[in-house]
Structure 1
Amino acid sequence: MQPNPTLDQLQILLAVAETGSFSGAGRKLNRAQSVISYGIANLEAQLGVKLFEREGTREPQLTEMGKAILEDARRMAGVMQRIRARVEGFNRGLESEVAVAIDPVLPAPVLIRTLRAFAQEFPTVGLRLNVGSLGSIVDQVVKGEADIGIGAVPGEADVRLIEIGLVTMVPVASPDHPLARLKGPVPLEDLREHTQLVVTDPSQRTRGRDFSVFAFRIWRLTDMHTKHLMIRAGLGWGGLPGWIIAEDLRQGLLVELDLEPYGQVQGPFFAMHRTDRQPGPAASWLIDIFKSKLGCFNEAAPDGLLPADLDGDVTRD
């Protein structure tokens, strides 16, 4: 079997290409020039191609095949660097992967900016992102399916909670909805006659309990995205996160309701982890950055409505 090029040979190739000479590569790698020349000669012999033109030039020049192989060498050297960085991180206690459970009520700009920073800070750490709601976030953390959770916590939780900021919920309806045509504050007796759309907890943690539910007729859904679409279609009214509906309010696709028993409300948002398991370095860093980014968002949007200059970070319907 023909021997494969070694990492050392590829590093010599990269050094010669970068410095433009065998002597420069020797200085860069702290090797004798004869070792550099020997390494390139062996690599050419193994591959059966000439990588450098040496005759008629003052310094070695890459051949066309040499240029092509150089790109492969760079990729292979990069893979080895990532392997080394991953191993070094593991030896320092850094996780190989972090699993995060996210409630979609979290403002999208906060999520995107946090994950963008995470990718830069921990390039060797994998990420598993699970999207849930209400008690399902807690369940994923308690069961060990997620290292940390980010969400609002209904009722008691078997986790350590770290408050990271606030999320605003706003009662809204389509402009053609009967409630949108009433002059407020709309009393409870009128509110009860119109279908309310409610996101229900898929876990058993709040079984038998309702939050901010006022109507006699209730349609229960399992996700905020569907609720948003149905309210915009005029199928009912309900509360939605301010950041999600900011553009809808600006364009007149939704209107904020003036209700006697239910107005715009801010609720706490938490990071959480199991009480018997401390998060690793990358997970702990994520909690701190989520808190920082959500705090910045709350300062930029104290009413919870997405400012126009943050619009580019949000994927719309």
Structure 2
Amino acid sequence: MKLDQLKVLRAVVETGSVKAAAERLNRTQPAISQALKALEARTGTALFDRSGYRLELTSVGRRVYLQSLRVLSEAEDLTQLIRHFEKGQEETIAIAIDAAADLNVLTPVLAGLQTRFPDTRVVLRAEVLSGAIEAVQSGEAALAVAPAIPVMLEEGDFDYRPVARSVMRNVAAPSLLDAMDAPRTLADIRRFHQVIARDSGQASGLLDRELGVQKGQRRWYVSDLHMKKHLLLAGLGWGRLPEHMIAEELAQDRLREIVLPHTHLSFDIEVFVFRQRRPAMGPVAAHLWDAFGM
């Protein structure tokens, strides 16, 4: 049984006649008839009822046809995959994404990637603080989308492009803010637990410190910002989250920003896409890089 015979079977069923199938496949009618006879000889039974004007599948023919559709689909997928690798396209590409980055920035780019390179597996790595930079430095990720300081990216020998801006705000549930009783200084909230997202990297260089954490501060650590947000909403602590993650909760008064006189708790962040500065990239990674620049 050959794939060519299964393609003939599919064409005859879909068009309803040998003549129409021959026109679709750009072959002669005798060639189509011969392929069908060879397939019937291979299965040992008639696949079509030829008594009427239009060819109709027999019960066995219907089962063979349905199975042939699956076989042809898998064969076509395999052909596409082979062509994908023949063009040098990456089998897998990893992208490190910092938890503070707005995924709405990334989604349109990924949609375009999925359409153009459907056979490349994409691995999205969730990182915190220095984790994204380390993933690109080590080669474990081709690109990263994360907040960063330009001088840090330049010193790290990265190519980089800005993709978004956001604001990090210190927030707490109304119940906890009421318990703080109108704090005026950081010392006033030291006894209330600060929820901190633990760095997913080794935190070397500029990131080797806990920014915004005062000495003597009671603290809890979490592995991601969604867990942190959940704890803040439950009134179990206060902490800093990107504005896009809490806009709805702020509007609904489920979270409130902590404002201290003469103390600047919120700050702006700029999110970059960055990669190692090297001459050669695979076509998928290069497409991603160009897509972020549009």
Using structure 1 for the length normalisation, give the TM-score.
0.79
CA distance in 1 between counterparts of 2:178 and 2:106 reads 33
1:83-126 per-position Cα deviation (integer Å, ceiling 9, x unaligned):
22222233333222211122222223344444344322321221
Shift of 1:221: 3.3
After TM superposition, list the pairs within 5 Å mapping 1:1-317 onto structure 2: 5-55=1-51, 57-153=52-148, 155=152, 156-178=155-177, 186-206=184-204, 208-214=208-214, 216-219=216-219, 220-260=221-261, 261-276=263-278, 278-290=280-292
CA distance in 2 between counterparts of 1:69 and 1:78 reads 14
Shift of 1:29: 1.4
Q: Counterpart amino acid of 2:255? A: L
Identify unmatched segments of 5+ residues in structure 2: none
SS at match of 1:176: helix
CA distance in 2 between counterparts of 1:136 and 1:181 reads 33
Q: Counterpart amino acid of 2:197? A: V
Using structure 2 for the length normalisation, give the TM-score.
0.85
Query: Kindly tell me: are residues 264 and 64 of structure 1, through their superposed partners in 2, closer, same or farther at Cα, counting changes over 3 Å?
Result: farther
SS at match of 2:175: coil
SS at match of 1:197: strand
For the aligned residues, what is the CA RMSD?
2.6
Residue 310 of structure 1 aligns with which residue?
none
Shift of 1:77: 2.0
Equivalenced residues, count: 286
CA contact (8 A) 2:171 2:241 kept: yes
CA distance in 1 between counterparts of 2:136 and 2:279 reads 10
Q: Counterpart amino acid of 1:176? A: S
Q: Counterpart amino acid of 2:146? A: G
Identity of aligned residues (%): 31
CA contact (8 A) 1:97 1:128 kept: yes
CA contact (8 A) 2:132 2:144 kept: yes
Shift of 1:39: 0.6
Shift of 1:173: 0.2
Q: Counterpart amino acid of 1:37? A: S
CA contact (8 A) 1:94 1:281 kept: yes
Q: Counterpart amino acid of 1:77? A: L
Shift of 1:143: 1.6
CA contact (8 A) 2:233 2:255 kept: yes
CA distance in 1 between counterparts of 2:115 and 2:276 reads 26
Identify unmatched segments of 5+ residues in structure 1: 293-317
Query: Kindly tell me: are residues 130 and 190 of structure 1, through their superposed partners in 2, closer, same or farther at Cα, counting changes over 3 Å?
Result: same
1:60-93 per-position Cα deviation (integer Å, ceiling 9, x unaligned):
1122333333233222222222222222233333
CA distance in 2 between counterparts of 1:97 and 1:26 reads 40
SS at match of 1:213: coil
Shift of 1:157: 3.0
Shift of 1:230: 1.9
SS at match of 1:129: strand
Name which of structure 1's ranges 36-45 and 77-86 shifts more when overlaid on structure 2.
77-86
